[in-house]
């Protein structure tokens, strides 16, 4: 598939990248239909983040369609064909904060928290 990738400070390129695959039983593959550019993407492009590597795919807030789900995904929650909006927070869904819908306070997702 093609993706917008970081190619150095102030350089982005559309390149061919490997198709995504299900790595974890709770993964889902979402085909991006529309996307937004965030101020944080500018931090990455401007070279303020030292862990960026040539070829990293940019983008973290988008809409899309689910085209594949892993075995561990609850079909009540997510099915192939669902149209989804994907925000940037990564949350486990099982801790006390996630149960209270405070996903940005997830107690498990940030290994440094």
DSSP E strand stretches across the chain: 2-6, 12-16, 28-35, 62-69, 83-86
Contact predicate 10/4, CB 8 Å: no
Per rule CB under 8 A, is residue 37 in the interface with other proteins? no
Nearest approach, Cβ of 75 to other proteins (angstroms)? 17
Per rule CB under 8 A, is residue 27 in the interface with other proteins? no
49, 57, 80, 84: residue in contact with other proteins (rule CB under 8 A): 49
18, 51, 75, 81: residue in contact with other proteins (rule CB under 8 A): 51
């Amino acid at each position: 598939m093609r993706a917008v990738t970081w190619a150095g400070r102030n350089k982005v390129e559309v390149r061919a990248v490997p198709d995504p695959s299900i790595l974890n039983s709770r993964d889902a593959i979402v085909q991006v239909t529309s996307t937004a550019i965030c101020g944080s993407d500018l931090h990455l492009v401007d070279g303020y983040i030292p862990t960026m590597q040539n070829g990293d795919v940019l983008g973290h807030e988008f809409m899309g369609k689910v085209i594949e789900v892993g075995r561990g995904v609850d079909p009540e929650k997510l099915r192939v064909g669902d149209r989804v909006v994907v925000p940037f927070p990564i949350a486990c869904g099982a801790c006390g904060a996630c149960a209270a819908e405070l996903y940005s306070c997830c107690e498990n997702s940030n290994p440094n928290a």
